Amino acid sequence: MGGPRTIGGVMGRVHGALRPRAPRHDVSKDGGPLQSLSTIRSPLTLSSCSAPVTVLNRGDFCPALTMLPLGHWSCRVAARLSKQPLAISRSYGGPAGPHYDVVIIGGGHAGTEAAAAAARCGSRTLLLTHRVDTIGQMSCNPSFGGIGKGHLMREIDALDGLCSRICDQSGIHYKVLNRRKGPAVWGLRAQIDRKLYKQKMQEEILTTPLLTVKETAVEDLLLTEPDSDHPGKCRVSGVVLEDGSRVYAESVVLTTGTFLRGMILIGLEAYPAGRLGDQSSIGLAQTLENLGFVVGRLKTGTPPRIAKDSINFSILNKHMPDNPSVPFSFLSEAVWLRPEDQLPCYLTHTNSRVEQIVNENIHLNTHVKETTKGPRYCPSIESKVLRFPNRIHQVWLEPEGMDSDLIYPQGLSMTLPPNIQEQLITSIRGLEKAKIVQPGYGVQYDYLDPRQITPSLETHLVQRLFFAGQINGTTGYEEAAAQGIIAGINASLRVHGKPPFVVSRTEGYIGVLIDDLTTLGTSEPYRMFTSRVEFRVSLRPDNADSRLTFRGYSETGCVSQQRYNRASLMKSSLEEGIAVLKSLQFSSYKWKKMIPEAPVSTIKSEPQSALDILKYEEVDMAMLAKVLPEPLTKFAECQELMNRLKIEATYELSLILQQKEIEEVRRDEALQLPKDLDYLTIRDVSLSQEVREKLHSSRPQTIGAASRIPGITPAAIVNLLRFVKTTKHKKESADKLSLNDQYLSKRDRLQKIEL
């Protein structure tokens, strides 16, 4: 595609970010209209490091995490890296430096997904991380998935993302939550072996075609004049590395986790989260601030880690994994480990002694006392005790890995001084002799108000600069990975001059997550819950592929042919199955005779279809196939197909109803607002100042998004209609709506391919 790839032209306009502190960057080749964006600040106020999740990786602070043996793999990584030269600059006349399509800063859960997605989309991608051996590090809980989060993982997988497949190769205790509550809210979850996950992730990242990894800190962003066809006050054109060298890029994705002014708090002590004197991220943080990004502050925490052999498991409630294990990925037939070889979790509870210890020592706790916005939910045992006194609270003892001798006590996040932590832990049943290997602590960090980014995760202020992960105010690996994959895809699409890939909240949890962030912002670490999702019955873990794989394949190229084929086959089989089930109609009497287990009421006189019968809890596809082998046997050959047909039957009526509402929302989302509308100054339109300010800070891209901003009235919406772009695009998307998208277009319909 004819993107702005004219290197000479681009280079000619590049101006080094002026950095008085680093004279070597002072001189911009041809001078230029962009003034210095980074100015000197006291380095003491900003101490951090540029790698994501490194807050928790400090060698001197988190021995448990960095003590993990690096093994031969890390050596291979290093060897491979050192041999891998950066792409040679193709510039002439401009400053020298390698040139990439997409540069990703950070190798955490957002960064890895972003890098791999950009590369899959065909962009030459560079991943910059402070330490290669921390790529894929799980810095907090040793688990992936859960209710809502499991949904996100299925959607990431539907777009060919990494984390689900890697979890299927590194889990040590797989369990589907909410089994009794209906398949729309099943929560796929697994305890993960930290070491294995990291190792597999690094393998994956280092073998991805078009993806280069470089171990370096990033000092600053290179900025240049904005493209005239997009809003934004400047455009990112690359990054400055710690050694002063430059890497040029068409798009840059920032996934810096909690590095922005990260502070670790424990008891009354506070440490800067990054490495002391690590000046690289000062520049970055300053650049962002000087550019005018609005910054907020959040806090979170992590529990102490306990030595496994110091716990008396024999008196605790043992919880076994599911048998069989349900894999995360649509592509995995099974997980790598047999259920009988998986590790158990244990459950214990807090007690009144715990409460007493917290109350007696609350004065020793800076983290809890401070007014920094914490989540409404209770992040720590201290806040649990303070907000809900006289109760006992669950503590899950989770394994950290197959051969790890650490246990993660989920529910005991705390920031008390270490000696008090020990007192508290040992007052809990089963932990009487427990040894703390690493104390719990709190983290406070800056995040950027996510209303400053578009639904494609590009910033409004700086063209081609994308944010993903905790920098946007979210919490959780899955939330980070979900943003990462979207940012990576869009960074790549932007390079190739293609329209952005936006997941609507009618299409996926990813859409809800990003729409909530970009239209409403967040004042607490944002976590995915199913209760945030309006179309919960439609957006299920089982059908994430039908929702996203086809779009990912045709619009972005981030989905492999294999996955596309599999999803297509599954979709056409489902449609055929539903059609056949509907066509099989018999009287209630006959159904009762064929399937006595089904509580069919014989009073009903109208014939009922097999799909109606499949709705009953007591009936499954295997039973139907047994009594009606002629048309149904072929649908009973694949377990996944049988399960999915059953789920479709369960929700049929609700789905029809939701489809209507979904179309209503999509109609509003097809009405696009211009990106460069200046809400504060537009004339001849009666919008109150309050409405103007709200629109200005959220910059909704569609009428649909605008209508979800609290305080935007129906009248304001009608006033905005006159700005709606009446383009062909709108017409097309409206036409598309009229097609029931449960049904594939001809192009998507595949010839028969064996599963």
Q: Which of residues 169-228 bind another protein (CB under 8 A)?
A: 177-178, 180-185, 187
Q: Phi and psi for 7 in degrees, rounded to 5?
A: -55, -45
Distance (Å) of CA 371 to CA 297, 359, 366, 656: 10, 18, 10, 47
Structure-derived torsion over alpha carbons of residues 385, 389, 394, 399, reported in degrees to the nearest 10: 10
Residues 521-560 that bind another protein (CB under 8 A): 529-532, 534, 536-537
Which is nearer to another protein, 195 or 646 (by Cβ)? Answer: 646
Work out how close the CB of 264 gets to another protein at its nearest, in angstroms, rounded to a whole number.
Answer: 19
Residues 6+ apart with CB under 8 A from 44: none
Candidates 480, 548, 578, 662; binder of another protein (CB under 8 A) is 578
Residue among 96, 680, 715, 753 that touches another protein (CB under 8 A): 715
Q: Does 390 help bind another protein (rule: CB under 8 A)?
A: no
Q: How far apart are CA 436 and CA 407, in angstroms?
A: 10
Q: Which of residues 679-698 bind another protein (CB under 8 A)?
A: 684-686
Asked whether position 673 contacts another protein by CB under 8 A, the answer is: no
Which of residues 16 and 183 has its CB atom nearest to another protein in the complex?
183
Size of the site for another protein (CB under 8 A): 83
743 binds another protein (CB under 8 A): yes
Q: Which tokens sit at 228?
A: 């005239």
Q: Is 380 in the site for another protein (CB under 8 A)?
A: yes
Map the footprint of another protein across residues 50-79, applying CB under 8 A: none
Side chain identity at residue 515, one-letter code: D
- Does position 645 bind another protein by CB under 8 A? no
122: alpha, beta or left, given left = phi > 0 and alpha = psi -120 to 50? Answer: left
Q: Which stretch binds another protein (CB under 8 A): 278-286, 451-459, 480-488, 713-721?
A: 713-721
Interface stretch with another protein, choices 68-76, 434-442, 448-456, 658-666 (CB under 8 A): 658-666
- Which CB, 481 or 574, lies closer to another protein? 574
Strands 125-129 and 211-215: what pairing?
A: parallel
- SS3 category, 45: helix
Q: What is the dihedral of CA 402, 407, 412, 418, to 10 degrees?
A: -140
Query: Which pair of structure tokens corresponds to residue 583?
Result: 């066509």
Which residue is it, tokens 């996944």? 640
- Of 157-165, 306-314, 425-433, 678-686, the window that binds another protein (rule: CB under 8 A) is 678-686
CB of 631 to another protein, least distance (A): 7
The pair of three-digit structure tokens given for residue 284, joined into one six-digit string: 């970055």
Tell whether residue 752 is a contact of another protein (CB under 8 A). no
Query: Does 410 interact with another protein (rule: CB under 8 A)?
Result: yes
Candidate segments 17-25, 439-447, 464-472, 719-727, binder of another protein by CB under 8 A:
719-727
Q: Which is nearer to another protein, 139 or 216 (by Cβ)?
A: 139
What is the closest distance, in whole angstroms, from the C-beta atom of residue 308 to another protein in the complex?
A: 20
Q: Is 387 a binder of another protein (CB under 8 A)?
A: yes
**Smaller CB separation from another protein, 342 or 530:** 530
- Compute φ and ψ for 164, nearest 5 degrees: -65, -45
Does the footprint of another protein cover residue 378 (CB under 8 A)? Answer: yes
If one asks whether residue 650 binds another protein (CB under 8 A), the answer comes out as yes
CB of 720 to another protein, least distance (A): 8
Q: Compute the CA torsion angle 600, 606, 610, 612 (nearest 10 deg).
A: -60
CB 629, min distance to another protein, A: 14
How many Å apart are CA 573 and CA 669, to the nearest integer?
A: 31
Using DSSP, how many helices (H) and how many strands (E) does the chain show? Answer: 25, 23
* Strand-pair partners of 241: 218
CB 466 within 8 Å of CB 254: yes
Give 492: exposed, middle or buried? Use CB within 10 Å, 0-12, 13-18, 19+: buried
Asked if 348 and 316 touch (Cβ cutoff 8 Å), the reply is yes
Tell whether residue 145 is a contact of another protein (CB under 8 A): no
Does 701 engage in binding with another protein (CB under 8 A)?
Answer: no
Residues of this chain, 84-143, that bind another protein according to CB under 8 A: 141
Q: Choose, by CB under 8 A, the member of 393, 496, 498, 634 that binds another protein.
A: 393
Q: Taking CB under 8 A as the criterion, which residues in 413-452 touch another protein?
A: 413
* 249/512 with CB nearer another protein: 512
Q: Does 148 bind another protein (CB under 8 A)?
A: yes
> Is residue 660 involved in binding another protein (CB under 8 A)?
yes
Give the count of alpha carbons within 13 A of 193, CB side only: 19
* Binding of another protein by 377 (CB under 8 A): yes
413 closest CA partner among 310, 264, 300, 309? 300
Q: Give the one residue of 653, 680, 753, 755 binding another protein; rule: CB under 8 A.
A: 653
Q: Which stretch binds another protein (CB under 8 A): 64-72, 157-165, 393-401, 420-428?
A: 393-401
622 binds another protein (CB under 8 A): no
Interhelix angle 194-207/71-83, rounded to 10 degrees, is 20
Q: Which residues pair with 236 in a beta bridge?
A: 223
- Cβ atoms of 297 and 373 within 8 Å: the answer is yes
**Site for another protein contains 320 (CB under 8 A):** no
> Which H helix or E strand runs over 297?
strand 295-302
Find the binder of another protein among 108, 145, 146, 488 (CB under 8 A).
146
CB nearer to another protein: give 182 or 417: 182
Q: What is the DSSP string of 96-138?
A: ---EEEEEEE--SHHHHHHHHHHHHTT--EEEEES-GGGTT--
